[in-house]
A and B are shown apart, each in its own frame.
Chain A
Amino acid sequence: MQWSHQVWMRFQTFFRRHRFTEQLSDEVRFHLEEQIAENMAAGMSPEDARYAAMRLFGNSTWLKEETRATWGWLWVDEVSQDLRYGFRALRKSPLFTTVAVLTLALGIGANTAMFSLLDQVVLRLLPVNHPEQLAIVRETGNHYGNSYGPNTISWPMFEDLRDNNQAFSGMFCRFPARVTIGYGDRAAQISAELVSGSYFRVLGVGTALGRTIAPDDDAVPDSQPVVVLSYSFWRNYFDGDRSIVGRTIALNGHAMTVIGVAQPGFDGVELGAPAKVFVPIMMKTEMTPHSDGLKDRRRRLSWVTAYGRLKPGVSLEQAQLSLQPLMHSILEMEVQQPEFTRSSTPEDREPFLRNRVELLPGSENDLREDMRRPLWLLVALTGAVLLLACANLANLLLARATARERELAVRLAIGAGRARIVRQLLTESLLLSAAGAAVGLALAFLTNRVLLRIYLPADAAAEFVVSPIPDARVLAFVAGAMLLTSLVFGLLPAVRGSRTEITLSLKDRSGAPSAGGISLRRMLVGIQVALSLLLLVGAGLFVRTLRNLDSLGPGFPTDHLLTFRIDPSLNGYSDEQTKSFYQRLDINLQTMPGVDSVGFSAMALLKGYGWQNAILGKDFEGAPMEQQPVLSEVSPDYFATLGIPILAGRAFTAQDVGPAKYAVINESFAREYLPGRNPIGQRFGLVDDMEPVSPDIEVIGVIPDRKYRDLRETPPAQAYFPYLEGVHFRFMNIYLRTQVDPRQIEDELQDRMRQFDPHVPVVGLETMNEQIGFSLRTERLVASLSGVFGGLATLLAVIGLYGVMAYVVMRRTREIGIRIALGALRSNVIRMVMREAFILIGAGLVAGFSLAMALANLIRSQLYGLNARDPWTFLGAAIVLALAAGSAGFIPALRASRVDPMRALRHE
């Protein structure tokens, strides 16, 4: 009862506080009038009665104020007063306000854009039940056999771990694959997630429609042709048709029954590669006709990514520790198997047995891995820009506080408390940063839309879970940035402003404004110069890295080169059909107008991965993964199409068919494995863990070293085999050397391919330059953003320096006037002012230089072709900054030299 009454009172006094104030006045007036009446009744004159009553009552204005304070809402009035006053003060100086808001908008906007990218790509956890309990289970150490990547293990190992571990409440595994979907008359290639039966249950992901894949669906290979659709795919591809459950769609030509639609927002466990359909992993043979890892019981074929859900209260480290004995017993068993003994040497046994289980946070993935460093780097850069913007604003506010000294002095003189002045000035800062944050948020929104488009593959960008729309986390970040920045740039000037000397400021001193925190402002400019140098050096390093990567190129001409991928086996073609498909396609494309030549390669060029295998020969046998040569299977015209010359021997011809085996190697291969010999005619073999092999592949040609996996690599040892004789022919990357701009024939090529075979979709059609451009997108993003930030930083520093120097000159006008009157030359004056400017710049440069040297190690891995402490970049940045800042200082210096001694001295 009482508290509800209290709440009611608070409510009343807030919303009706004007009426309450009036009533209080009435109350006091009534009181005074009663007292006056009594006094008059006692015989006083009306005048005396009034004064006596007021004396008895006390200071009514103050008492009313005290009374209102008991209502507890005084601060609302004060804050709204501060706000009104702040608005008025900012409106009075529109130029200052515009500059300040824009500066902050750039600073806060850049930070928000980077943060929301970082948050969504690197920090956010999977949208499943308790994502923090999920762990990726992987094996560290040397791997013997084939592997789909460092986070994969073999299917039997997954089964052993799943059935025997004590650390997890459940385990599942998955394998990502591309499949061709046919529904009605449409065909397309989409990403599928092959999942173990426990996948949905362990993740805690439910359905929007129908049911999920259950352990029963995943018990017997090839037995359950069922599929679960992702929610977004169901909406986009099937227009949200609720009757889809129970119907049949074709995946790779196999009829599959749709059993459900997964819950909205869940696109599989790999961010950046959203899965469209989920299929039991027991359907692997149907989904990936080019390899049937499930039936292939080799323990050394690693292909599934295994996940475990930690039991509540168990940490990642504890679980990892508890899994080691289990892993060791699995390894003990594996080394006994012939697959291991065949693909390794006896000396490999011991290190292999030391392999361990490693657990990674379950939300980890490749995109995260790749983007973590660059994104943190960009966040750091934008942080520096914001800091710089703050320094600039603090500087501006200090200058403004000096100009407002008189106003502040008046407010102090009529009784404003110093705390109230600080609050007032901070309110103005907060208003500025709030406006900056609002504009910044809009900027961030636009920027992120552009960044996402640059950053993601076109197909992923269309449905990527990263959205440019700010959510609660981003808004919280912006609010935090806003409060923090307004404190950082506002507090010092506010405190200084509150210390205004009343008597000094109110006297007429129009000739020379006070010192106005000039040493503070010098320091701020020094910091700005230092940060600018840091950002400029970074920009220089990243831009030159990009230029190095761009200009060095892969080693073959990339203009007029068009590439795409086809996967006829996904259409259910047999091996023979596939091979004949390629031969006919080769001829067909060669006759296409505008096409010079056509090359086929089983492995994609410059896509970041490759096929590696240990080889054996007369003098060598086996090797750990890192030293294994990179291999591919190519068509006869492949080298000619890419413009790679044959240094010795010859390229493949259509006659290079079995049973004889042929290879073309590169110079590195020859140097490493066949040193001091003529490589032509030498033989080697590919180590196979299924059976013993002999060196039966004959080298028929040698090509120069060219990059293969990515632009950053030093070309590895490479060997090529005829594509139709190989094992990887079920899908192909096709390269077309064109006479014209390759983009002009893209449409025609699509048509031609449709006519050639409407069931085999063209995937990833793009020019080689586009592909390379995309592969350099991180470098390009970092280079262009750091360039923009560096320019911005320099601009801010220049403005800051100009402001301080102009102020210095203004303060010293009289002194300069005297100097000139006494015969100082104009050039002397200029030199005097410039010396001061350059001392400031020099100090900033020294500080920035040491900072950059100290931080250089952090960005080393992001650079290519130059040192993180590259002297030319440092020197260049310093010169650019010194010139820009120097010219900013020159304007006030020139003005100083034009001081008219008569006018400077006459004043006052």
Chain B
Amino acid sequence: MGKPNDLVQGTLDLLILKTVSLEPKHGWAIAKRIQQISNEVLQVQQGSLYPALHRLEQKAWIKGRWAETETGRQAKFYSLTAAGRAQLEKEAATWSRLSGAINLVVEST
């Protein structure tokens, strides 16, 4: 029941920020989207999204707003804030540097 380690947490944050960067989405949609885009490779336990979402909201990187879905139900939609966008760019850059470096190491042998 320990907390996800830094890498996983940081990655999850990045995924969420990226996912809501295009348009506001509610929790379930975010989970579905991550799953779909990654070709079902990233199987996030859906529930663990929520602590992450609320933490990001506390940091004011995303903003939650209750609104109606297409089916006419109330859901909490998360959208990226200006600060969130900056954070996304920073984390994306870090990620590509890191993954690039790991690629180099893995492929050089």
Does A5 touch B at the CB level, under 8 Å? yes
CA–CA, A34 and B59, complex, Å: 27
A59 to chain B, nearest CB (A): 7
A13 CB contacts on chain B under 8 angstroms: 58
- Does any Cβ of B come within 8 Å of A23's Cβ? yes
Neighbouring B residues of A71 by C-beta, 8 Å: 54, 58
Report the Cα distance A60→B45, complex, angstroms: 11
Report B49-64 CB contacts with A as 1/0, cut-off 8 Å.
0110111011110000
- B81 contacts which chain A residues (CB < 8 A)? 2, 5
List CB contacts (< 8 Å) of A806-825 with chain B: none
Q: Tell me the bound Cα distance from A59 to B47 in angstroms.
A: 7
For A66, give its contact among B46, B51, B82 (CB under 8 Å): B51
- The CA-CA distance from A62 to B59 in the complex, in Å, is 22
B contact residues, total (Cβ < 8 Å): 26
Cα of A62 to Cα of B81 in the assembled complex, Å: 28
**Residues of chain A from 1 to 41 with CB closer than 8 A to chain B in the complex:** 1-2, 5-6, 9-10, 13, 23-24, 26-28, 30-31, 34-35
Contact indicator B28/A70 (Cβ below 8 Å):
no
Type the 1/0 row for A56-90, where 1 means its CB is closer than 8 Å to any CB of B.
Answer: 11111011101101111000000000000000000
Contact B51 A30, beta carbon cutoff 8 Å: no
B94 at the interface (CB under 8 A from A): no
Contacts of B45 in A (CB 8 A): 56-58
Q: How far is the CA of A174 from the CA of B51 in the complex (A)?
A: 72
CA distance A60 to B27 in the complex (A): 14
Known contacts A5-B60, A70-B58, A71-B54: A27-B83 contact under CB 8 Å: no
Q: Are A67 and B58 in contact (CB under 8 A)?
A: no
Chain B interface helix/strand/loop/mixed: helix
CB distance from A58 to the nearest CB of B (A): 4
Q: Which residues of A contact B27 (CB under 8 A)?
A: 27, 30-31
| A694 CB → nearest B CB, Å | 98
With CB as the reference atom, state the residue of chain B lying closest to A33. Answer: B73
Tell which of A1, A6, A30, A60 touches B28, judged by Cβ atoms closer than 8 Å: A30
Q: Which residues of B contact A56 (CB under 8 A)?
A: 45-46
Contact A6 B60 (CB under 8 A): yes
Q: Are B50 and A27 in contact (CB under 8 A)?
A: yes
Bitwise, B30-56 to A at CB < 8 A (1) or not (0) is: 010000000000000111101101110
Query: Residue on A with the closest CB to B52?
Result: A70
Q: How large is the interface on A (under 10, 10 to 19, 20 to 34, 35 or more residues)?
A: 20 to 34
**A683 to B5 CA separation, bound complex (whole angstroms):** 103
**Distance A69 CA – B81 CA, assembled complex (angstroms):** 22
Which of B57, B60, B81, B82: most chain A CB closer than 10 A?
Answer: B60
Are A58 and B47 also in contact (CB < 8 A) when A30-B74, A34-B28 are?
yes
- Verify B83–A1 contact, CB threshold 8 A: yes
A70, B60: Cβ atoms closer than 8 Å? no
Whether A27 contacts B57 by the Cβ 8 Å rule is: no
Chain A nearest Cβ from B34, distance in angstroms: 13
* B54 neighbours in A (Cβ, 8 Å): 24, 67, 70-71
Q: A594 CA to B57 CA in the complex, in Å?
A: 92
> Does the CB pair B47–A2 fall under 8 Å?
no
1/0 per position for A876-897, CB-CB distance to B under 8 A? 0000000000000000000000
Q: Are A72 and B74 in contact (CB under 8 A)?
A: no
Question: Which of A's residues lie within 8 Å of B, judged by CB?
Answer: 1-2, 5-6, 9-10, 13, 23-24, 26-28, 30-31, 34-35, 56-60, 62-64, 66-67, 69-72
Q: Which B residues contact A (CB, under 8 angstroms)?
A: 1, 26-28, 31, 45-48, 50-51, 53-55, 57-60, 66, 73-76, 81-83
Given contacts A27-B76, A57-B46, 6 further A-B contacts (CB under 8 A): A2-B60, A9-B57, A27-B26, A27-B27, A27-B75, A31-B46
